Structure formats: structure tokens, C-alpha cells
Structure 1
């Protein structure tokens, strides 16, 4: 009994660990010691020499030691028997490969399955979208994607729920809703529909805004809502119903208003959906710092992008998915034509960009040799991403094959992926000595 009526009983409360304001918030990640690992260094496109021991604590890598046959490396003191901290997890990986967690720089986690067509998706209730998104996020993480960048649809609230442990998923960077002009790439309303006198229609992945006052308000509202960056639809797209790929969207004044606002409100990054030379040039000449897709760019435009330090995020994986079962009817007939148009030129554009020296952020494969993960970390504004090094996040994959020799091993996680570790927490494991953290 509490000694004072009405006051909390601290003895009782200490026995109720979930009696907390946010009971889903977990304690700090335990100390984790991974021995005898081959370290994948995607920045150099090579393995580090020899076998290594890696020590992680509270979500970060705190020590790395090279092992030799002559002696056992001296690790930092790992456990005080009198400490209240749990005993560390020590695992011998026996020469398995330790790879940085994958980073996908272009996803739409709210573009969920469960529907046959794009029109069904944009009409799906927000509540059902939110519930299905939790499945998408969990599956991404289980396939080894420990960080993703959502380019339209996700929110700060969703990112916060993941970081607190309420939802299982990759570390999430998001732009809120993508900005689109009426009739642009994120306007999914019927062709004869009116957005009203004041615009601002919000649906699915984006919101429409027309004229400088509206784009200023939309940009400021997304940044106020916690957007990490702003996405601008500067050209036509495959999935939108009323705009050809060749269209150029927004005026120079509208895009300039967006990029200026982003600089003023915390120097936030801006990126643009754009396929053609005209739309790419329109974006970067008005201050946009990144390009999504870029399938139809020329060598001249690629050279300008390289000179200005504009990032490119190709998305070649998505076009093939939208033409094979069960998604062969996801796009309307006109969308299928546009999809074939950009798919045909995608690889050529990637070669053009590479030859010009454009910084690539290859969607789905940024940390296995196709692109230096340090570029993704720079764009996302977090240098602790994408590397196995002291001070970096303990986002780690345990593999039985070298992804630098054959990147397709990542296509078969059920065969080659033995464990996923995010922020020092074991998310999945097929290694007996490496138990999965209990989330319940």
C-alpha cells in the first residue's frame, strides 16, 4: 500500500513495466558481438581483408577488430557481472558475409497490394491503406531493406511509429504527399472532375496545387507536417491517367517558389518526378536537387546534372512488375503504352548517366556495388547509414554468399539471407545462437 493516500505505489509500479505513457517503446538494443565475419564494403566494391569481429551497442557499431590465426583480438569489456544490463549476445558467424542493410531510395509504402488496378488503389479507404502498409513495411525489412525513402504517400506519423517500435519496418524518410499541378502526375481524379476554386485536392500519393500561392501553402504544410524532403511532379508519368510522358508540369515560378521555400525552411532537399530532357531541365534550372526516373534523358542533360551535383534515382524494377501477373491489368491501356515507352529506354539512360558521372541512387540496390551507399546517406542527411564502421548504425545482413560477386543472391532471401539486424536489434534469424528480439 502506498504510504500516502492517492500517491503512486512505486513498488507496485516497478512490477508493471507496461505501465508507461508509450508502452511500445523498447529498451535500448542489447550489446551484440558478431565474430568471424567477412565484411562487405560496398563503397570500395570489395571485402575487407581477413575475418572481423563487430560489436554493436544501443543500435550503433562501437568496435571492429580484425582476427588472425595467431591471436584472439582484444575486444572492449563486454559485460560487468554486477551490471543491470543484460548479458550480450555473442555469435560466431563462421565466415559468413556481413553486409550493410539495403537502402531503397524510391518506394511508395502506401501503394499497397490487394487491388487489381490503379483506379481501385486510389479509391481504397485510408484506413485500409494504413493497415496494409504495416504488412508492406514488415516485408521490406524482412527482405533486408533496413532504410527506405518514400517518394509520396507516407507521413511523419508513420516514420515515428516505426522508430518507436510500434510498427515493424525500415527506417523511413518521407516527403508526405507529392506535389502535382491539376492534371499532373499525382492528380488521380477523373478527367472531367473539378478540384474547385481553391485547389488543394489530396488523394492517394499526392496533392494538387496550382499557382504560386497554392504551391507555397502546400509546401509549407508538408514541411510543417514533418516532411524530410519535398517531391515535385515536373513531368508526365506512367500511372497517371491524363498526362503524356512528354508533358512538362508546373511553371518556372511555381517550382522556384517550392525550392526557395525548402531552402528557407531548413534547407530541405527537393526531388522531381521527371522522365524527359525537357522536364528534367525544367526541374534543375529552377532549383530541384534530385531526379526520380530519368529514363529518357540525353547525354547533354546528364552532363548538366553531373555538373550541378543533381542526384538520379532510377526505378527500373517497377516497370516489369506492372506487366506480369497478378498486376498485368494494374495500368489502364494508355498507361501500358507509356510503361513500355520508358521501360525500353531505362537501361540506356542509366548508362548515359553513369558515363556522364551523375550520382546514382539505384532503387533497391544501393549498397551492393551498383551505387556507393555514401551518396544515399548524403542525400538522406545521415552519415551513419550504409556502412559497417564504428559510429554507424548496426543495420546488418548476414548472408551465406558474397553479393559483390553475384548481386542476385539478394533476390532470394529465403535461400541466402540468414539474419536481418536493424539498429542492433535482431529482426529475423536462421542462426540458432542469434535469437530474434521478442516484440510482444
Structure 2
């Protein structure tokens, strides 16, 4: 006769297994629904002039057929959509169709709240992520269909966007920024001790914003942990910063061996390291370690710029400008002024030596500033023609994203271009931004249709 305990245990196991199977089935069904929500749907853009992301010349009046999430056909002749498709026709009336915009340096979590809010022990993760979801949708409605997130606990938001639960851009996530003690990612107050000397884990580490990692072993662990979470590239702090309080702008961060540890661990996963760095010393050490991209670089000298060109290192630059940030100390303001003064040299030398150049905004801790994201594009006219600027924020930015290799979360199609089999990330624009780049700043009125991944998120022509 079976023991009553065995019977009870058996019943419990049956219930647990059944519940687990039910949950697995529900999750699978949810994923399938998200993936298939746009199946058998199509969009036909008629009578549009195409800026394809690469050519300075607009196309002749053309038609573009989107099926599911890819561009199926581009033709100057009539296109017959497949029968039975859930078709949306959009008559462009000669308007310009261009690729979705790409911002290669964002912090979706950090740009959605102020620094005091993020560091407060009273703020909940639910509040932080709810704010980020709002900002993600607004970013998409400004025409940004893809972003590279260079630091922050953005993985849950990325998953929700990819599954169709919330609207937002495609995200190339880095995960927690990797910083040495006293580095640009160390936001502890002076009375917070290092955990190596009796302290506790910092608030930034608790929320997954940063890893304070010292020594080769810690750097390896931090890099691998980000990769385990799904990072498409790794962000390391190689020098002093503006928004951090206790590291001067001129300091070099991480020894060569520590930096190499991050590069080697990323390379083992088929991807790359990008570093926050302004100065020649910090950038040259990062290059020696095998880093493939430099974020910022506004304080570089001409000789170091030549090295970037010679070694095919990417420079991801921003149009920094003087502004007020609530809570900034006088030291932080002075650091910003120094960086702003170097913006013109960075862009001019990048053009002069044909450096692989990418563009991003890098907004932090001032949510209302996000509305100026498109204005940073307009500000590029100081150094670039409208065509050069538009190519930079579409095709060129997309080339940097390809460095993620096998860790590229969207490697099944091209981004930043309009061509057959590319992802259907598209903007239908009033006016010609190739002649007047200020159109990009008036996104609310000039962006008439916004499509991401074959789904319409804005259509004022219907």
C-alpha cells in the first residue's frame, strides 16, 4: 500500500508540473501573438520620393510595398499587393520617404528621471520603468526607430518593446556601465564606503545601472554578466566625466590590463567594447586595449584623431552645448564648458581625416530636455550639409550597430536604409530635409507617417 505521504507528494508534483506547463504555454502563446500581430499585413506607399539613406539624389516618384516587417518591393511602376493581405494604402502625394532615425547614444532609463529621483531609496522600480516607457514611446514618435542604449537597466524595457507590449524604438542594450572605483560610473556619495572596505552595494549597482569593478577579475565578471543579460555591446568608462561629481575630466580610468579584460570577454561573445573618454591619454589606452569605438572625444588632439582614422576606430560624437542642469555643482559646470569648447574640433577633424563617425545625443537626468532630441540633428548644420547629416543619422549610424556581430538583436534585416528586404522603419516627411534640415526639428508637424518594424505608429494622412 502506498504511503499517504508519497500520495500527497505525488499530487503536489502533479499540480506543480501542470501549473508550470500552463505558464510555459501561456508565455509561448503570448510571444507568438506578439510576433504574429503584424502577419499578413502590408503597407503600400504610393507616389513618394525616396531618400534611401545613402544617395544625395532623391528617387523618381516611386511606390514602396511593405509586407509584415520588411520592405518587399520598390518600383517606379504600379505595385500590385498580394491578394488577401490586410493592406493600408498611403498616398504620399510626392512627399519624401526616408529611413527611421537612429540615435547611437541614449540612456532610456537615466533620461526619464532626475538623478535625485534615481538615487532615492524611496523610488520604486515600477515608477522608474513607467517613466521610461513613456519616454520610449515619445522617442519613437519623434521618428527614432532604433537607439543604442549605452548604460542602464534597460533589458526589461527592450523585451516589452520587442514583444509589442509597449511602443518604442529598437534597443541595442549595453546593460550596466562598467566603472572603476572613483570612475565616471561611481555615483556614491562621499560617506558611502567601498564594499571592499566595509561598505554595501551602491544604489546604482542595486538598480543595475552600473558595475563598480576593480581588477581584471571584477571587470571580466561585470562584462560577462552584461552579456548574460543580453547586451549587444559593452560600455566601459575610460576617463573622467561631466555628470559624475568626484572624477575630474582629465583623469584616465582603468589600467591597460583591466581594459583588455573587457575587450577579450566581449570578443569571445563576438561583440565589442565602446568607451566613455574625452582625452588623448584615455583614448590611446583604450585603442591599445582593442576598443573599437570611442564615445565623445571632444578633448582629443589632432594626432590622436589621426590614430582613430588609421586604425578604423569609430568616433561616436554629440552636439554638446551650454545649458542649465538642476543640481549641477560649479565643478560640473566647468567640466561641461570644457567639453563644449571641443565640439567643433571633434567634428572638423573627424571630417578632415575621414574617421568612421556616428552620432548620438547622450541626454541624462533632465526628462523635459528629451523634446530637443531632433534639434540636435538640426544643430549638425554647423559642420555638415543636410545630406551628410541625414546620412549620418541613418545609414552611417546603422553601420556602427553592425559591430555587435552575432549579438546584434536585429541582424535579420538592414537598418538605416530603404532597400528591398530592409526592415520597414520609415518616415514620410513634409518638405525636403535635404534642402532644409530644420524640418527634422519640426517632427510633430512634418513627420506625417512613422512606421517601425512594419507597423504604423503615426499616420496623419488617413
TM score, norm. by length of structure 1: 0.84
**Contact kept? 1:295, 1:345, Cα under 8 Å:** yes
Asked if 1:278 corresponds to 2:281, the answer is: yes
Following the alignment from structure 1 to structure 2, what is the Cα–Cα distance between the partners of residues 105 and 368? 18
Asked if 1:225 corresponds to 2:246, the answer is: no
> What does residue 289 of structure 1 align with?
292
Which residues in structure 2 correspond to 1:327-342 (within 5 Å)? 328-342=325-339
Q: 2:66 aligns with which of 50, 56, 59?
A: 56
Following the alignment from structure 1 to structure 2, what is the Cα–Cα distance between the partners of residues 397 and 314? 24
The number of equivalent residue pairs is 395
Name the structure where helix makes up a greater proportion of residues.
2
Which residues in structure 2 correspond to 1:357-376 (within 5 Å)? 357-363=354-360, 365=377, 369-370=388-389, 371-372=391-392, 373-376=394-397
| 1:391 to 1:24, Cα distance in 2 relative to 1, 3 A | closer
**Contact kept? 1:303, 1:357, Cα under 8 Å:** no
Asked if 1:262 corresponds to 2:266, the answer is: yes
**Contact kept? 1:228, 1:268, Cα under 8 Å:** yes
Q: 1:36 aligns with which of 26, 32, 47?
A: 47
For each residue in 1:132-174, what CA deviation from the matched residue of structure 2 results, as whole angstroms up to 9, or x when unmatched? 0001100000000000000001433322211110111001101
For each residue in 1:349-407, what CA deviation from the matched residue of structure 2 results, as whole angstroms up to 9, or x when unmatched? 11112211111111154996324433322321246000010010111101111112122
**Contact kept? 2:129, 2:157, Cα under 8 Å:** no
> What does residue 130 of structure 1 align with?
129
Please state whether the residue corresponding to 1:295 is helix, strand or coil. Answer: coil
Root mean square deviation of aligned Cα:
2.3
> What does residue 446 of structure 2 align with?
416
> What does residue 344 of structure 1 align with?
341
Per-residue deviation at 1:229?
0.5
Runs (5+) with no aligned partner, structure 2: 1-25, 362-376, 381-385, 403-410
Please state whether the residue corresponding to 1:47 is helix, strand or coil. Answer: coil
Per-residue deviation at 1:125?
3.8
Please state whether the residue corresponding to 1:215 is helix, strand or coil. Answer: helix
**Contact kept? 1:102, 1:146, Cα under 8 Å:** yes
| 1:114 to 1:233, Cα distance in 2 relative to 1, 3 A | closer
Please state whether the residue corresponding to 1:427 is helix, strand or coil. Answer: strand
For each residue in 1:250-279, what CA deviation from the matched residue of structure 2 results, as whole angstroms up to 9, or x when unmatched? 1101000110111112x2121000011111
Asked if 1:378 corresponds to 2:403, the answer is: no
Asked if 1:121 corresponds to 2:128, the answer is: no
Following the alignment from structure 2 to structure 1, what is the Cα–Cα distance between the partners of residues 243 and 28? 47
Asked if 1:316 corresponds to 2:319, the answer is: yes
For each residue in 1:198-246, what CA deviation from the matched residue of structure 2 results, as whole angstroms up to 9, or x when unmatched? 8975156322100111111111111111100000000000000100110
Asked if 1:396 corresponds to 2:395, the answer is: no
Asked if 1:429 corresponds to 2:426, the answer is: no
Per-residue deviation at 1:26?
5.0
Per-residue deviation at 1:345?
1.4
> What does residue 144 of structure 1 align with?
143
**Contact kept? 2:133, 2:157, Cα under 8 Å:** no
218-227 vs 197-206, which deviates more?
197-206
| 1:19 to 1:276, Cα distance in 2 relative to 1, 3 A | closer
> What does residue 302 of structure 2 align with?
299
Following the alignment from structure 2 to structure 1, what is the Cα–Cα distance between the partners of residues 165 and 441? 28
344-353 vs 153-162, which deviates more?
153-162
> What does residue 103 of structure 2 align with?
104
406-415 vs 369-378, which deviates more?
369-378
369-378 vs 104-113, which deviates more?
369-378
Following the alignment from structure 2 to structure 1, what is the Cα–Cα distance between the partners of residues 430 and 396? 27
